[in-house]
Amino acid sequence: MSARREGRVYFVGAGPGDPGLMTARALELIASADVILYDRLIPSEALSGARADAELGYVGKEGGGQSADQQEIETLMLAHARAGRNVVRLKGGDPFVFGRGGEEALALRAAGIAFEVVPGVTAGIAAGASAGIPVTHRGLASAVALVTAHEDPAKDDQSLDWDALAAFPGTLVFYMGVRQLERLAARLIAAGRSPSEPVAIVERGTLPEQRTTLATLATLAAIAKQREVRPPAVTIVGPVTALAEQLAWREPPVLAGRTVVVTRARAQASSLSERLRALGARVVEAPAMRTVARAVELPALADFDLLCLTSANGVELLFERMGERGLDARSLAGLRVAAIGPGTAAALHDHGINADVVPARSVAEGLLEALAETEAPRRVLVARAADARDVLIEGLLARGAEVEVLALYDTIAEPIDATGMAALADADYVTFTSASTVRFLLSQATPGPRTRIVSIGPVTSEALRAQQFEPHVEARRHDIAGLIDALVADAAGSHA
């Protein structure tokens, strides 16, 4: 009887926090894993590339670690691997730098399970680089030590030789809780390091909220307290830290420190979320709805002289339905094509169609106005969501056109999870990109009192007002770029 093939365990470093600092190999393994067991300090987007059917397990520890948990993690990894699953053991930074990766690998070796180690960018070095601190520098430091210590400040740490650390001829990089800073400085000074030795604390290195605090060993504790330094942070000791004054290179991004809730359906949210994150925002996706394609019969496209599309999703689904029948862009050759806005036009462009009509105002009324300036259509196909507004159809009928509606999808409610709910109550901004997102979201939750409401345009704003919410910001251009511009202008203005 042949045994079932065993899975393999991959110890993968997820880097210090910026998702762009994950390795190509890490992304590849995350995308193919059956199971991902992840720790606390991994980039928030690290799991977004996981397979939809992958099993994701959070096994992180808050604060200090208990070896009992460690035992459980090892047991879990072994069980999955023995059941034939490929397991990614995802850890912050590098898995073999203070990540207990070595211990877990020993347990696998003892059990005869194959594993692979994928190094990651370690926080101590990355946080320095990101703050303008080279951990080595000719003439200043030709050695660097990575150091960790017990998290419990009450316990006297016997594992570190402070005399040796104080005498170390180079940069010291401490990975540990900020509660220990006072003791760390006192110990190094007592062991002979100069009280005037420059020190830097880098909090949330490589993340949009990164902050650097410069001090000396003598002033470290007081300054850290005054600045309310919070974990995760690394503390770098040595003359190289003074270089941060000249080499700090990150510009504070415009939305740093702001939380923005994105309420679009998950399938459509990513481009908005990515652009907000790139501007430094903390983005929480709270989709209150999703779209479900309908099984539809395509009418004979050649019978129409105008095709109207009112969403990028509609474009995708139309081409899917066409593809099923072996059709491509050529079957739209005889039709004029109208797109409600730039997002819809871009989706058409991706399928080889340049829209003939794109109104300046991305609403049904705007589309009607733009169409009024063109030759009157005779037979119009409107491909769109089942529950869309009828303004477009009525307007076309009023112009004497024959109109057929192709309802490609339904929009249905999706429950908002606890993270989304918490963010809504306290976010700086909540964005609404359609009247349906307004309806679906407000039926489940309401934004908190300090949260500024951003609307993509007049139709969305009307839907908000209908529910007694006056938008604080309305985009002038009714597309994603316009929405982001309006939000950024608001954040940069008096509401900073």
Residues making contact with ligand SAH (CB under 6 A): 16-17, 41, 91-94, 97-99, 122-123, 127, 175-176, 202, 204-207, 231-234
Residue among 231 and 239 whose Cβ is closer to ligand SAH: 231
From 34, 61, 305, 490, the catalytic residue: 61
d(C-alpha 17, C-alpha 211), whole Å: 14
User: Across the beta sheet with 115-118, what order do the strands follow?
Assistant: 55-58, 35-38, 87-91, 9-13, 115-118
Query: Minimum Å distance from CB 393 to ligand SAH?
Result: 53
d(C-alpha 19, C-alpha 106), whole Å: 28
DSSP 175: E
d(C-alpha 29, C-alpha 315), whole Å: 32
Task: Identify the sign of the CA torsion 396, 401, 402, 407.
Answer: negative
In whole angstroms, what separates CA 167 from the centre of its chain? Answer: 42
- Structure tokens of 188? 């190094």
What's the CA angle centered on 15, arms 67 and 41, to 5 degrees? Answer: 45
d(C-alpha 57, C-alpha 107), whole Å: 19
d(C-alpha 489, C-alpha 216), whole Å: 39
Whether 73 contacts 34, CB under 8 Å:
no
Give the phi and the psi of residue 25 in degrees, each rounded to 5. -65, -40
Query: Minimum Å distance from CB 208 to ligand SAH?
Result: 11
Cβ burial 138-163 (10 Å sphere, 16+ → b, else e): eeebeebbbbbbbbebeeebeeeebe
Q: Which residues contact 67 (CB under 8 A, 6 or more apart)?
A: none
Residue among 30 and 338 whose Cβ is closer to ligand SAH: 30
Hey, is 71 helix, strand or coil? helix
Q: Closest residue (Cβ) to ligand SAH? A: 93
Cβ burial 352-386 (10 Å sphere, 16+ → b, else e): ebebebbbebbbbebbbebbeeeeebeebbbbbbe
Q: Is 155 a catalytic residue?
A: no
Residue among 175 and 429 whose Cβ is closer to ligand SAH: 175
Query: Minimum Å distance from CB 179 to ligand SAH?
Result: 11
Query: Minimum Å distance from CB 231 to ligand SAH?
Result: 6
d(C-alpha 152, C-alpha 173), whole Å: 19
d(C-alpha 281, C-alpha 487), whole Å: 11
Q: Is 39 a catalytic residue?
A: yes
d(C-alpha 285, C-alpha 260), whole Å: 8
Residue among 7 and 101 whose Cβ is closer to ligand SAH: 101
Q: With residue 368 as reference, give the H or E element that holds it.
A: helix 364-372
- Structure tokens of 489? 């202008």
Known catalytic residues are: 39, 61
